Amino acid sequence: MKNLNDLLQEGVAGRTVLVRSDLNVPLNDEGDITDPGRINASLPTIKALVDADARVIVMAHLGRPKGEANPKFSLAPCAEALSEALGQYVALAGDVVGEDAHERANGLNDGDVLLLENVRFDARETSKDEAERGVFADQLVALTGDNGAFVSDGFGVVHRAQASVYDVAKRLPAYAGGLVEKETEVLRTIAEAPTQPYVVVLGGSKVSDKLGVIEALAPKTDALIIGGGMCYTFLAAQGYNVQKSMLQEEMIDTCKDLLARYGDKINLPIDLAWAPEFSADAEKTISGLEDTPEGQLSLDIGPESVKKFAEVLSTAKTIFWNGPMGVFEFDKFADGTRGVAQAIIDATAHGAFSVVGGGDSAASVRVLGLDEDGFSHISTGGGASLEYLEGKELPGVAVLSS
């Protein structure tokens, strides 16, 4: 697999380089970026190409516009953020492969950066029909003119065979960007040779979303910590009354089976934080598993669970964390996620190699004001990280070696 350094050594001055970045950042109701993590992660590759006098065209998506242009999902905030971060103007094309994109691409000078509008405004980007994706990819490649190149740097999308990730790579000389290269190297280390003891922390809402990674990692780990919404189905499988908490009843038997096979490794909460309704202002109650408040729902793990999990983490030499312990967006119910994250930071300070597996976990680190440098690596791709560790082939990575 060729990388960015290979491309830079070949020379990019005066060449147009298509870069697939992951700029899928969260926006508030006013359209402001609330977590610039993915934009910051995309900067080194873009900056390296700019410094080498390439003409850079960035492709990215935002949200799920379902194949239609929608101002709500415009990349305008990302163009502004990139301009500020790079210290130079980043133009935003008014379309993806239309007249404005072509005019702006043709007008690029060495060291300029152009951001195409949201590639998912075109339904062919995510089409299951390879021929349809291929036509769209051809149109994207046409923006580069002669002697173009492609750099794949959006790790958060490499688990999808989409036009700007997969099909473009089959049509241009293709290289792994610095971010994709670093992410795959880190995950390969965890997947193939984790230093023991190896502890995996999983949260999130549904057992079904994490079943594959549980099955893949449980045999390799020394301990598996489970919190978040998914823990309630496990607790129900143990016979506890989780009241109105999130529950996948159809997964209870699956959880019973997992507990039967890996019960010596699986660590579940021993107390929970409850609320009468799903609200940031709800009154918070802590209880053990035997005396759950009637008719309430749990929105976080409790303090004794945090202590239990922290003790397990204190012995770890390798840690992978994917998924918050509770509704960290509500300050009252952020203690579980904050406490477990701090335990991972403490373990890292004592020599553990820790990876935050993207998604809500990475967002929680920044939302809660935790020290990002306290972790060995924070991934930009939650789904891609999980699929890699499950042993699945990532199309956007595999195509770079074909």
- 206 classed as catalytic: yes
Read off the pLDDT of residues 243-283 as tens digits, 9 standing for 90 and up: 999 999 999 999 999 999 999 999 999 999 999 999 999 99
Query: Is the CB of residue 268 less than 8 Å from the CB of residue 321?
Result: no
2, 47, 171, 206: the catalytic one is 206
Read off the pLDDT of residues 63-107 as tens digits, 9 standing for 90 and up: 999 999 999 999 999 999 999 999 999 999 999 999 999 999 999
267 is in an annotated binding site: no
154, 203, 323, 359: the catalytic one is 359
15, 20, 38, 124: the catalytic one is 38
67 is in an annotated binding site: no
62 is in an annotated binding site: yes
- Asked if the domains at 4-181 and 194-390 fall in one CATH topology, the answer is yes
- 171 classed as catalytic: no
210 is in an annotated binding site: yes
Out of 18-32, 101-115, 178-192, give the one with best mean pLDDT. Answer: 101-115
At the second CATH level, the architecture of 194-390 is 3-Layer(aba) Sandwich (3.40)
Q: Is 281 exposed, middle or buried (0-12, 13-18, 19+ CB in 10 A)?
A: exposed
Amino acid at 226: I
366 is in an annotated binding site: no
Q: Is the pTM of this model over 0.95?
A: no
The length of the chain in residues reads 402
Under 8 Å CB-to-CB from 283, ≥6 apart: which residues?
275, 276
Other CB atoms within a 10 A radius of the CB of residue 233 amount to 24
CATH superfamily of 4-181: Phosphoglycerate kinase, N-terminal domain (3.40.50.1260)
154, 204, 326, 383: the catalytic one is 383
pLDDT band (50, 70, 90) for residue 360: confident
- 359 classed as catalytic: yes
| DSSP assigned state of 33 | B
**pLDDT given for residue 206 in this prediction:** 85
Residue of 37 and 281 predicted with greater confidence: 281
- 338 classed as catalytic: no
51 is in an annotated binding site: no
358 is in an annotated binding site: yes
Domain ranges of the chain: 4-181, 194-390
Q: How far apart are CA 291 and CA 298, in angstroms?
A: 13
Other CB atoms within a 10 A radius of the CB of residue 285 amount to 15
